[in-house]
Chains A and B, each alone.
Chain A
Amino acid sequence: MKKTQIVLLLVIAIMIGALLVTLEDASVYATFEIAEKQKPETVTVVAKVDLNNPIKFDPKTTLLTFKAIDKDGESRSVVYNQPKPMDFERSEEITLTGHSTDINFVATEILMKCPSKYTDDEGLDTTGIYSINS
């Protein structure tokens, strides 16, 4: 076998290895229930902020506590040790990365999806048509 062929085989082997490591590193989109089953593993939960419950932010400790409702409708209290994201209440959907504990969900990262961010589609406001007296 030629050297280059050996190298190519090695390349393929390393690529498969890298693929496996990547799959190993990947987290899963989960619900709070799955997160609790798999605790303390880090998972990603897509949820909504529950606006009917208090959203507490203490600037002295930069601790944000709120309730979130996942896609199954399960509600959990979430703690996030970072400043409250801008327009947090306005968010349509939030992506929480973190893990469950016995009492709550500890988020390490929150990505927000704002209503206008992705679709940008407010459309034209035609409520104010001027009536011109003719």
Chain B
Amino acid sequence: MDYIGEHSLISFLGRASVALSFAGAVATVFFYSLYFFRSKNKKTNDHRGIKSAGRLSFAFHSIGVFGTIAILFTALFNHWFEFDYVWRHSSLEMPMKYIASCFWEGQEGSFLLWTTWHVILGWVLVGTAKKWEFGTLMLLAMVQVFLTSMLLGIYIGDLKIGSSPFILIRELPENIGLPWTELRDYLIRLPSLRNGQGLNPLLQNYWMVIHPPTLFLGFASVTIPFLFALTGILEKKYYEWVIPALPWTFFGISILGTGVLMGGAWAYEALSFGGFWAWDPVENSSLVPWLTLVAAGHLMMIVKHKKSAPATALFLTILSFLLVLYSTFLTRSGILGETSVHAFVDLGLNGQLIAFLGFFSIGSIFIYLFHWKKYPKSPSEEAFSSREFWMFIGSMTLLISAAQITFSTSIPVLNKFIGPEGLLPILGNSMAPPADAAKHFNSLQIPLALVITSLLAIGPFLRWKETPSALFKRILPSFIITILISALCVWGLKLYNPLYAALLFVSIFGVFSNADYWIRIVRGRWTSSGMALAHLGFSMVLIGALISNGKKEAISTNATYIHEDFPSNENILLPLNDTVSMYPYYVSWRNERTEGHNRVFDVDFYETKESSTWNDFKRPELKPSFTLNPFIQINDRMGNVREPSTKHFWNRDVYTYISYADLRPLNEKNGDWSDPMEAVLESGEEVFLFNEYLLYCDTLNVQNASINQNSGEIEHLDLELELILKSMNGDETDLTLPYHLDGNEAHTSEVELEEKGLKFRFDGVATAEGKFNITAWEKNNGDPPFVLLQAFIFPYINLLWLGSILMGIGTLLAVWKRVYRAINENRK
């Protein structure tokens, strides 16, 4: 049957592209793997045939992937809402600039994004990997087989393989066989298909346009060193693999690190948990591969410089990729459910995700262990004063840090195994994540950060093999400066927690020693600046995170004493148009308005004139300082979201959000009546009202009814609903609410109980049979409208952002250094 206006051809083309990319990936694996079978049998150097066939298959795979993207974008761009993906993730009202966010809001789109980066990086490998091409592309194509299969959307028996972004709404399992799917013109007839559900407003933020592609490029670049490591094992090139793998590793460190921090920037700007990092499982699971990749990169440098045992470097490189897969599994399988604030959609692909994770974990660990005996051992022992020894210690510390974060994040997975309903029920009750996540992670991660940061401060001055004793003379200047500066900081910031003070000390040392190294030893030569800049940036990120979090100050304190169980509250009550003291500012809530999805609150901040003192009984003279506009996003899909507004100064941020507000329009809040309360009742039921009353629904009386003899429709109807209002003291008041239907027009009137200060309205019969809709209001007690505000000062948070930029640039320079050398060697 031809459906009117439906783009069935496009849907077919889309699925054909996915099928092409899948088939292309399978063919690539086939042709490139021929090399391994042929090279074992006979010594032939001519692999040109299989190379061309492999490249051609990869080209078909790429055409499929890019075709898929193009078709999905076309459908999104043209608002073809017969596509389930388009209907679910976009709408007519959504600004076009966020179309990219719609693309990767769903799981299918984000898998596609990841696949695409693999394709692009794969072509770079084709161009640069030379003799490594066979192994790396074969393995990459295996990853692609799994990734593209997630988009197939086919059923083999009852087994669902993948979820296609091109499935039409009428083809969804829940709709198959419904009468409307048989209508040729269903697109015209179904009003709900004229517009989609729209993009989650929370993601309509510019960070969400750039954060996902950056993060997935980071994930994709963790794959490449893994490909080299495994190819190195398979081809017995236990040392050589690090040369091509190193620039990719630093590229991954740079991009993945930036991507993770961008996620933090989004959280800081769009979410109101009060900070950029919450140790949320989703954040953790993308941080962990970064930590192991950094460790792997350092171990690779040891292998490269010292020809030492490659076993640990191989292990960590493989582990980093497996952790990316594990992170994908955690965030997409819905297993984190109750423990994370992030929203997940379970697409029913868990079996496939486990197969993906299982295939590569078991496969690569088997290959790694199978060749265990053949890995070269270190020719000599590392000296205590050598750079490699301390680099090794640092990498191991990073591994411990990654392992600890993984343990804590995996608690829901652990429950599946040993929880009360798990495979091996050891625990009586399911484990829950630590109650105070920040305290838990800080207590374990700060000691590890201390070790890592002191090593990256001293490390650059150490020499390979052995360091002459002149080392101490060389780091002495920066050490002395550090003691002075950090003493000043600890005193100035009153940062007396010993663990925090120690971390501040080593981080400042990291900044100064690396700056010193950059100026005196590298002398600012760009190609060699990578290490110093990256280390400096990392130390600065730590300083920024430490000061801004450790000295985060809630200025919106509420002094009301409630109970010894409760600490003083961090919410300040702002009545409309009143000016309230919130040291060091005075604040005033002046107005609110509606902008798109958002209810925006204008909060003015005032400073006191310098001449007036705070302690005067007279009100000090005020001068306007700045205005902040925190808002509440009215979000039907995820519930309303409180979004912060922040004033950035060079040395601090003033961060605010509305923690509670009555969402009625201002004029209504100012009016005589309270927030309406809606109740749905049937005869004999009762409901609580305004904490004081019970409203009992007695009977419904039909007074007059006349039916049109011709059409059978109701022409005229008078209803009276009888209710009894019961007070806490036992009083009962009878109440009769009228409802009057005239043709299609309903007339209701509000009934006021003056002595109680209440009024009621009968809104008709609810869709559920026999239930009545009632709205009730309470008289306002004369208090002006108010909001509750939370305000924090984050001191020196800009150091964090500056540090992340430096770290990103530093690691990219480390990539450039190696690419530059490779180009120069080629010329020779």
- 8 Å CB contact of B189 from A2, A29, A132: A132
- 8 Å CB contact of A29 from B344, B396, B430, B639: B430
- 8 Å CB contact of A129 from B180, B382, B434: B180
Contact between chains at A106 and B639 (CB < 8 Å):
no
Can you list 6 pairs linking A and B with CB atoms under 8 Å apart?
A26-B432, A43-B432, A97-B432, A123-B174, A128-B192, A129-B190
Contact between chains at A124 and B190 (CB < 8 Å):
yes
Instruction: Mark A26-55 against chain B: 1 for CB-CB distance below 8 A, else 0.
Output: 111110001000000011101000001110
List 15 additional A-B contacts (Cβ < 8 Å) besides A14-B400, A117-B637.
Answer: A2-B381, A21-B444, A26-B433, A26-B434, A44-B432, A46-B338, A59-B788, A62-B569, A82-B569, A83-B571, A83-B660, A120-B345, A129-B180, A130-B191, A132-B185
Interface centre among A3, A8, A122 (most CB of B within 10 A): A3
Q: State the Cβ distance, A130 to closest chain B Cβ, in Å.
A: 5
Give bound CA distance, A26 to B440, whole Å.
9
Q: State the Cβ distance, A75 to closest chain B Cβ, in Å.
A: 15
Q: Would you call B153 an interface residue if the criterion is a C-beta within 8 Å of the partner chain's C-beta atoms?
A: no
Q: Would you call B691 an interface residue if the criterion is a C-beta within 8 Å of the partner chain's C-beta atoms?
A: yes
Q: Which residues of A have CB within 8 Å of B341? A: 111
Q: Which residues of A have CB within 8 Å of B567? A: 81
Contact between chains at A7 and B638 (CB < 8 Å):
no
- 8 Å CB contact of B432 from A3, A27, A61: A27
Instruction: Mark A82-110 against chain B: 1 for CB-CB distance below 8 A, else 0.
Output: 11101100110001010001000010110
Q: Which residues of A have CB within 8 Å of B641? A: 86
Q: Would you call A22 an interface residue if the criterion is a C-beta within 8 Å of the partner chain's C-beta atoms?
A: yes
Beta-carbon nearest neighbor of B185 in chain A: A132
Contact between chains at B189 and A129 (CB < 8 Å):
yes
Contact between chains at A124 and B571 (CB < 8 Å):
no
Q: Which residues of B have CB within 8 Å of A59? A: 573, 660, 786, 788
Give bound CA distance, A116 to B277, whole Å.
25
Give bound CA distance, A26 to B338, whole Å.
15
Interface centre among B191, B432, B688 (most CB of A within 10 A): B432
Contact between chains at A82 and B571 (CB < 8 Å):
yes
Q: State the Cβ distance, A69 to closest chain B Cβ, in Å.
A: 15
Q: Would you call B774 an interface residue if the criterion is a C-beta within 8 Å of the partner chain's C-beta atoms?
A: no
Contact between chains at B345 and A119 (CB < 8 Å):
yes
- 8 Å CB contact of A54 from B378, B381, B688: B688
Q: Which residues of A have CB within 8 Å of B392? A: 4, 7
- 8 Å CB contact of A86 from B381, B562, B571, B639: B639
Contact between chains at A87 and B432 (CB < 8 Å):
no
- Which of B141-149, B402-410, B463-471, B791-799 lies on the face that meets chain A? B402-410
Q: State the Cβ distance, A118 to closest chain B Cβ, in Å.
A: 6
Instruction: Mark A1-32 against chain B: 1 for CB-CB distance below 8 A, else 0.
Output: 01110011001001100110111011111100
Contact between chains at A126 and B632 (CB < 8 Å):
no
Give bound CA distance, A125 to B573, whole Å.
42
Give bound CA distance, A74 to B175, whole Å.
39
Q: Would you call A113 an interface residue if the criterion is a C-beta within 8 Å of the partner chain's C-beta atoms?
A: yes
Those 4 A-B pairs whose CB atoms lie nearest each other, nearest first: A83-B660, A44-B432, A86-B640, A81-B566
Q: State the Cβ distance, B416 to closest chain A Cβ, in Å.
A: 13
Contact between chains at B638 and A116 (CB < 8 Å):
yes
Q: Would you call B343 an interface residue if the criterion is a C-beta within 8 Å of the partner chain's C-beta atoms?
A: yes
Contact between chains at A52 and B688 (CB < 8 Å):
yes
Q: State the Cβ distance, B246 to closest chain A Cβ, in Å.
A: 21
Q: State the Cβ distance, A86 to closest chain B Cβ, in Å.
A: 4
Give bound CA distance, A106 to B569, whole Å.
15
Give bound CA distance, A120 to B106, whole Å.
11
Give bound CA distance, A125 to B189, whole Å.
12
Q: State the Cβ distance, A4 to closest chain B Cβ, in Å.
A: 7
Contact between chains at B334 and A18 (CB < 8 Å):
no
Q: Would you call B659 an interface residue if the criterion is a C-beta within 8 Å of the partner chain's C-beta atoms?
A: yes
Contact between chains at B429 and A8 (CB < 8 Å):
no
Q: Which residues of B have CB within 8 Å of A120? A: 88, 343, 345, 637
Give bound CA distance, A87 to B567, whole Å.
25
Contact between chains at A116 and B688 (CB < 8 Å):
no
- 8 Å CB contact of A27 from B396, B403, B433, B688: B433
Q: Which residues of A have CB within 8 Å of B806? A: none
Q: Would you call B642 an interface residue if the criterion is a C-beta within 8 Å of the partner chain's C-beta atoms?
A: yes
Give bound CA distance, A82 to B381, whole Å.
59
Instruction: Mark B388-423 against chain A: 1 for CB-CB distance below 8 A, else 0.
Output: 010011001001100110011001000000000000
Q: Would you call B560 an interface residue if the criterion is a C-beta within 8 Å of the partner chain's C-beta atoms?
A: yes
Q: State the Cβ distance, B586 to closest chain A Cβ, in Å.
A: 20
- 8 Å CB contact of A112 from B192, B433, B639: B639
Q: Would you call B431 an interface residue if the criterion is a C-beta within 8 Å of the partner chain's C-beta atoms?
A: yes
Contact between chains at A124 and B191 (CB < 8 Å):
no
Q: Which residues of A have CB within 8 Å of B407? A: 18-19, 22
Contact between chains at B345 and A8 (CB < 8 Å):
no
Q: Which residues of A have CB within 8 Å of B9? A: none
- 8 Å CB contact of B180 from A11, A79, A123, A126: A126
Q: State the Cβ distance, B115 to closest chain A Cβ, in Å.
A: 23
Known A60-B560, A81-B562, A130-B191; judge A108-B435 contact (CB<8 A): yes
Contact between chains at B192 and A15 (CB < 8 Å):
no
Instruction: Mark B175-204 against chain A: 1 for CB-CB distance below 8 A, else 0.
Output: 100101000010011111100010000000
Instruction: Mark B544-583 against chain A: 1 for CB-CB distance below 8 A, else 0.
Output: 0000000000000010101001110101010000000000
Give bound CA distance, A126 to B659, whole Å.
37
Q: Which residues of B have CB within 8 Å of A61? A: 558, 560, 562, 569
Contact between chains at B190 and A86 (CB < 8 Å):
no
Contact between chains at A116 and B558 (CB < 8 Å):
no
Give bound CA distance, A114 to B403, whole Å.
32
Q: Which residues of B have CB within 8 Å of A4? A: 309, 378, 381-382, 392
Beta-carbon nearest neighbor of B572 in chain A: A62
